Each structure stands twice: as C-alpha cells, then as structure tokens.
Copies of this chain bind each other. A is one copy, B any other.
Amino acid sequence: MWEVAEELNAMLVFAEHRYYGESLPFGNKSFTDSKHLNYLTSEQALADFAILIQHIRKTIPGAQNTPVIAIGGSYGGMLAAWLRMKYPHVVDGALAASAPIWQFQDLVPCSVFNRIVTNDFKKSGKGCSESIRNSWEAIKRVSSTGEGLQWLSSAFHLCSPLKSSQDAAALKAWLSETWVNLAMVNYPYKADFLQPLPAWPIQVVCKFLKDPSLSDKLLLQNIFQAVNIYYNYSGVASCLNISHTATKNLGEVGWYYQACTEMVMPMCTDGVNDMFEPQKWDFQAFSEECFKLWGVRPRPSWITSVYGGKNISSHSNIIFRCLCSSSFPWLLSPVELEKVGVVPGSWEARRLTTEMEELG
C-alpha cells in the first residue's frame, strides 16, 4: 500500500471508525447505554467516510478530482466494499481484503468460518488440528478433579488458578479464541498486529502439536507450548491471563454492540469437520444476552437487506481478496467474483477455488 501510493503519488488516509480509538462521539459516555451507542452502525460509518472524502476533496489542493479507492481488511474490508456499493459517486473502487460479507444469516453455513480456521491448522503440520480437537476432552477429564484443575493452572502458567469447571470452560473458550486469532494473523512474515509473532505462526505452533494420540497431560503440555507462541513470543510474560485474548485494543465493546444490533454473524462448530468443541449457533441465547446488556435485540437479516447479500452483481470496481494466508471466509462464487472484480485466474481466484474444493 505504502509503495503503491508513493508510485502513484497518492495520498493515504486512515479514517478511524466512529466509536473506536479516539473517535468517541460522547467521550467517556459513548458506551454507557444504547442511547449513546445508537449512532454506532456501519451505515453511519460509511456516511462518515463519504463526508470525510468530500471534505478532503474540497480542502486539500489537488484532491478535487482525484480518484479514490477504499481499502480495508476484515470488517474494514466489508466497509470498503459497502462504501463503493452505496457511495459510487464518492469512491471509484474498493479493495476488500478478507471481507466476510457473506458471514450473515443464511448466506453460508455457520460452520464455514471454523472449518477454514481448522483447514489452516490441518495444512500447517501433521497431527496439528487433531491434537487441538483432542485437547477439549483432555481438558474435561483433567479438570474433573481439584488436583487436575491445579495441574492445569500450573501447566498453562495461568496468572489466576482455575477453581471450578466453569473456569475450565473459560480456559477452553480462551484456547478456541486463540486458535481463531492465530488464523487471522497467519502472515507469511514476522508481524505484530494482535501480538508479536513469527512468520507463518501456525506452522510454528504446529511444531508442538504433531502427536494427537498422547496422554492427556502430555498433550496439554504441548497445547501450552503452542499457545505460548501466541501469548509469549517475546518471552516477557511471567504468566498467562485467560481473561485476555489480546484483541482488546480492537474495541471489543463497540464490536460486541454492533454484533448485538446489525453485525450478526452466525458461527458454529461440530467437532467433526472442524477441530473445535461442538457448539450450535444459538440465536435466542445470543439475543437474550444482548437484551440483558443493552436492552437491544439483534436484527439478523438487516445487513443482507441493506447491502444485498449475494446479489451484488450490479456493482462494479470491487476487488475481493484474502490477506495472503489468513483465513476469513470470503466465500464468493467465482462467477460473482468475476462480475465484481477479482481477475479470473489470479492468485486470489486460485486460492479461492482451492479453498472451495477443500471445503467441498
């Protein structure tokens, strides 16, 4: 991006999404209740970007008639694509990287995301995804006694010892989230997005997870070594805190509110086609939690109503691609992709086709 911008003599503008970082419309009160959170929507964010671009055009010499390309990854990739869809008079095109614009109600199976994550582990080392799949039962067995909980706390170098089966469940949730996060930052180069990590971190992690048939305690010691790559690659952490998954800086509260209103992205696991503990998508329970937290109910079909779901062929100049090896489920059919913008036969299209085949 930096290099291309220099080559094109272009300006790079990083726009902060409202309610994230320092862009708090009500300062400290922004997250207090749904009345203050009410203006946190993707539509409002898109309007912000449109107005910002128009402002830049008006105020920066030379910017008046310059083409503008929206660029983003993940949610930011969705926003980039949606910005081109809704404001084609403001942006001339969009590069949407790892943008799961179909991860909404009824567009893809809720299992897709975690199957792709599993795939990344499967491909990165023999026995790797199986080891993780077996770890859940191992944790369940070990944590069934007080002594086992103590052993787990010490084996995982936890800052606060586990005291109950609920704590053991929290350990499992923390591990799951860790594997997912690793898939999201599985870059081919050393990087520090969520955490400082080596190149191809999943391959590094999988070096510890070659034998899924080990006894419970040996398997779990390996699991610890593996997650320790993620949480302690720099070697400075004296203990691991399972109440943190190092995505806090991504604005968890704001995102959770968005998930509780319009960004309802159904996820599930079955433990067979993926390496996670089986968990159904329970909209009702999710809705109850949202109501308890903010008095709001999620609207699962809204995003598809507004942005079109799979019916996006009347739009133009949008390139959907993945961030190198990361694994967001960007499951557009190649036909749609050609219409919207990915060059057929390109690296992106090949990777897509491979992924589609692997997933059956």
On chain B, the residues within 8 Å of A314 by CB distance are 88-89, 316
A320 CB, min distance to chain B CBs, angstroms: 16
Interface residues of A (CB under 8 A from B): 47, 50-51, 54, 86-90, 305-309, 311-312, 314-316
Prevailing SS type, chain A contact patch: loop
Contact B89 A51 (CB under 8 A): no
Most chain B beta-carbon neighbours within 10 Å: one of A50, A89, A90, A308? A89
Q: List 21 A-B contacts (CB under 8 A).
A: A47-B305, A47-B306, A50-B305, A50-B306, A51-B305, A54-B305, A86-B86, A87-B306, A87-B308, A88-B308, A88-B314, A88-B315, A89-B307, A89-B308, A89-B309, A89-B311, A89-B312, A89-B314, A90-B305, A90-B308, A314-B316
CA A51 to CA B304, docked complex, whole Å: 11
On chain B, the residues within 8 Å of A90 by CB distance are 305, 308
Q: Who on chain B is nearest to A89 by CB?
A: B308
CA A147 to CA B87, docked complex, whole Å: 60
CA A231 to CA B233, docked complex, whole Å: 84
On chain B, the residues within 8 Å of A308 by CB distance are 87-90
On chain B, the residues within 8 Å of A51 by CB distance are 305
On chain B, the residues within 8 Å of A54 by CB distance are 305
On chain B, the residues within 8 Å of A50 by CB distance are 305-306
A149 CB, min distance to chain B CBs, angstroms: 51
On chain B, the residues within 8 Å of A305 by CB distance are 47, 50-51, 54, 90
CA A222 to CA B50, docked complex, whole Å: 53
Most chain B beta-carbon neighbours within 10 Å: one of A88, A315, A316? A88
On chain B, the residues within 8 Å of A88 by CB distance are 308, 314-315
8 nearest CB pairs, A to B: A89-B308, A89-B311, A88-B314, A50-B305, A51-B305, A54-B305, A86-B86, A314-B316
On chain B, the residues within 8 Å of A312 by CB distance are 89
Q: Who on chain B is nearest to A311 by CB?
A: B89
A319 CB, min distance to chain B CBs, angstroms: 16
Q: Who on chain B is nearest to A54 by CB?
A: B305
CA A311 to CA B86, docked complex, whole Å: 13
CA A54 to CA B301, docked complex, whole Å: 11
Q: Who on chain B is nearest to A310 by CB?
A: B89
A35 CB, min distance to chain B CBs, angstroms: 12
On chain B, the residues within 8 Å of A87 by CB distance are 306, 308
CA A311 to CA B64, docked complex, whole Å: 14
On chain B, the residues within 8 Å of A47 by CB distance are 305-306
CA A316 to CA B88, docked complex, whole Å: 12
CA A309 to CA B50, docked complex, whole Å: 13
